[in-house]
Structure 1
Amino acid sequence: MDKEEIQKLNLAFGENLRKIRDSKKISLLQLSYNCFIDESKISKIEHGRFNIKLSTLFELAKGLDVSPEKLLGFPFDQEE
C-alpha cells in the first residue's frame, strides 16, 4: 500500500467513524470520555490525518458501543 492509498483509507475510516458518532448523537468530547482518547486525536482520526493502531480501533468501538467490525464496515477500493 502506498502513501496515497493509506491516506484514502484513513479518510474513509474517519468518515465512517464520524457518521457512526453522529448517528448516535455523541459529541467528540463525550466519545473522548467514553474511550479515554483525547478529543483532538479523535478529530484528527475523523479527518483522516491520523493512522490508528488496532488497540485504538477497539477503544473507539467500545466508546461508541459498537463492534469493531462496524467501524471497518465502509467501502474501500484498494488499487492493485
Structure 2
Amino acid sequence: MELNKTYLEKFGENVLKRRTELKLSYRQVAQKCDVDFSAISKIEKGQKSFEFQTIIELAKGLDIHPKALFDFPVEHMEK
C-alpha cells in the first residue's frame, strides 16, 4: 500500500473515531465547520486528499486540536 494512502486512512480513522465519540452525523459536523458532508465521508475512508485549511475546519467541527487527528503510528520509509 502506498505510504500517503496509509496516512490518509489513519487520519480518516481518527476523524471517524472523534465524530462517533461526539455522536455526530456527517451533516452535523459539516454544519459546525466549512467542510462539505460528503467530503467528510471520503476523508474518513481515506479516499480524499485535502488542504491544510480542511484540517483546521475539521478540528473546529470536532472540537479537538488538529494535532490529535494526526495521533497515529508512522511507518518508516525504506531506502
Question: TM exceeds 0.5?
Answer: yes
* Structure 2 residue 25 is the aligned partner of structure 1 residue 27: yes
User: Any residues of structure 2 matched to 1:32-43 within 5 Å, and which?
Assistant: 32-43=30-41
In the TM superposition, what is the alpha-carbon distance from 1:8 to its structure 2 partner?
A: 0.8
In the TM superposition, what is the alpha-carbon distance from 1:76 to its structure 2 partner?
A: 2.4
| Cα offsets for 1:36-74 (capped at 9, x unmatched) | 211111100000011111110000001111101111112
TM-score normalised by length of structure 1 = 0.89
Question: Of 42, 45, 48, which aligns to 1:44?
Answer: 42
User: Any residues of structure 2 matched to 1:1-80 within 5 Å, and which?
Assistant: 4-80=2-78
Question: Structure 2: where are the runs of 5+ without partners?
Answer: none
What do you get for the CA RMSD once the two structures are aligned?
1.3
In the TM superposition, what is the alpha-carbon distance from 1:77 to its structure 2 partner?
A: 1.4
Count of equivalent residues: 78
TM-score normalised by length of structure 2 = 0.90
Question: Structure 1: where are the runs of 5+ without partners?
Answer: none
